[in-house]
Amino acid sequence: MGARESGRQVNGEFAVVIRGGRVVDPAQGIDAPRDVAIEDGVVAAVGTNLRGRAVLPAEGCVVAPGFIDLHSHAQSVGGHRLQAFDGVTTTLELEAGAIPVAEAYARAAAEGRPLNFGYSASWAAARIQVLAGHRGDGRATTMLSHFANPAWQREATAAEEDRIVGLLETELAGGGLGIGVLVGYAPGTSPAEYLRVARLAASSRVPTFTHVRDLVAFAPTTRMDGAEELVRAAAETGAHMHYCHVNSTSLRHVDRVLGLVDRVRREGATVTTEAYPYGAGSTAIGAAFLSPERLPERGLRPTDLVYVPTNERVRNAEHLVRLRADDPGGLCIVHFLDETNAADAAVMRAAITHADTMVASDAMPLTWRGAPADETWPLPPSALTHPRTAGTFARSFRRLVGDGALSVAEFVRRASVLPAEVLEAASGGAARKGTLAVGADADVVVFAPDAFRDQATYEASTRPSAGVRHLLVGGAPVIRDDALLLDARPGRPARKA
Ligand SMILES: [Zn+2]
């Protein structure tokens, strides 16, 4: 039997050793110079003077458990590659989710993925199927194309609600990582249905991932304040309620929202939060809250929107109405906050520095001007997205660690350890991630802290982040010596056990 097949170190040598870096592993309380050895896709040893048949030099670099992105719609080879340069080793579609999850997993496995991947059961797709008659095919873009259809956004009858919940139960049984609940896009939904979905999550012992309903401050006619609804569900049902992008759905009300979250957490509820460090959001231009009549609720004008497929600023209300009619699922960028304005910058910062807020990108699918070329690398200029797809983790690091707000270890806790705990809950304990402890999956990011920075902008949205020297997924390099390995597809599914 050869050295590779034996699964053990041979003559004191491991298959791979990451040598001479600063290992930052908050789960084990390690922040020190160490070598990391890998055998058979898992961490085999952490120590000094380890010898390897392959050696990855890491002098001057941080060596950390790879970042886990709980919120990524960029589920394609090209999307994963952008996220790899941002330090991500596991990227999960949990907010929108998929239906059928089996189809989403099968497609990803057939195409191959650079990073580990996973999907929640999609409440929105279940509603689109039951209320609007369109079956899901496991693709986010198909779901987006039905977003503007008011049929799925209305209140369900009792019988319809039974079918929606029944579909979710089936999808959880099929491996879905919890339930993604885009209630903010379906304003007619009854608060009772939301509670019922939370109860299903509680009894299935999985988290939910919510894009909350409107805050009362935005829409006084909302059926319930979105933040109150989420924390109430956590308190009343005992479900783990994950609050997606608390920055973009709270905006200038972030202090009130986080105050509510803190209160129910103190009382014993399980609420977790995430944020991304950009003043602009991104969604389908046909979303209910982006109609010209409703823009003023968030202090927006049509000119605050950019239509991604052509990269053009929306000119006026008539232009917006036309775009919404012609391409309701088309991506747009919504400039909510002015990042150059001190008060708005403080709002963004409050969301992301709050205790235990995780880093999560809300990475968007790549939109193509012309024919898709997802497997081309570097991505051609015809690929368009929101810069958060490429730059969330590096930008968070640069802003929060660079200015001394967080230590490197605290950053790794928010980018790897805390999301690994959520994945652990969603997968029923199947994951061994978020740490470099012996036996953990060898998902490792090696980055130069002084060089780690985002490079994507609203104009050049697919420019990869800089500073990741090596990135390993299950022990296999995806980035080695700063370069992408084009053939690397070591990504494995994360699913509910
Ligand atoms: Zn969202």
- Is the entire prediction scored with pTM above 0.75? yes
> Where does 125-279 show beta strands of DSSP type E?
179-181, 208-210, 241-243, 271-275
Residues with a beta carbon under 5 angstroms from ion ligand 1? 211
Distance 388 CA to ligand 1 centre (A): 13
Distance 161 CA to ligand 1 centre (A): 22
One-letter amino acid of 295: L
Classify burial at 40, counting beta carbons within 10 Å of its beta carbon; exposed 0-12, middle 13-18, buried 19 or more: middle
Distance 443 CA to ligand 1 centre (A): 27
Distance 261 CA to ligand 1 centre (A): 18
Distance 290 CA to ligand 1 centre (A): 13
- Give the chain's largest Cα–Cα span: 73
Distance 342 CA to ligand 1 centre (A): 25
Distance 51 CA to ligand 1 centre (A): 46
- Decide: helix, strand or coil at residue 199: helix
| Contact predicate 433/65, CB 8 Å | yes
Q: Which two tokens stand for residue 159?
A: 């019988």
- Inter-axis angle of helices 191-204 and 158-173, to 10 degrees? 30
Give 381's contacts (C-beta < 8 A, 6+ positions apart): none
One-letter amino acid of 102: A
The Cα–Cα gap between 255 and 261 comes to: 10
Under DSSP, the state recorded for 481 is T
Distance 41 CA to ligand 1 centre (A): 33
Closest CA to 38 of 52, 49, 27: 52
**pLDDT tens track, the chain, 497 positions:** 333 333 457 778 999 999 999 999 999 999 999 999 999 999 999 999 999 999 999 999 999 999 999 999 999 999 999 999 999 999 999 999 999 999 999 999 999 999 999 999 999 999 999 999 999 999 988 998 898 899 999 999 999 999 999 999 999 999 999 999 999 999 999 999 999 999 999 999 999 999 999 999 999 999 999 999 999 999 999 999 999 999 999 999 999 999 999 999 999 999 999 999 999 999 999 999 999 999 999 999 999 999 999 889 999 999 999 999 999 999 999 999 998 999 999 999 999 999 999 999 999 999 999 999 999 999 999 999 999 999 999 999 999 999 899 999 999 999 999 999 999 999 988 779 999 999 999 999 999 999 999 999 999 999 999 999 999 999 999 999 999 999 999 999 999 98
Distance 243 CA to ligand 1 centre (A): 10
Distance 249 CA to ligand 1 centre (A): 8
Under DSSP, the state recorded for 72 is B
Distance 363 CA to ligand 1 centre (A): 10
Give 1's contacts (C-beta < 8 A, 6+ positions apart): none
CA 221 to chain CA centroid, Å, is 30
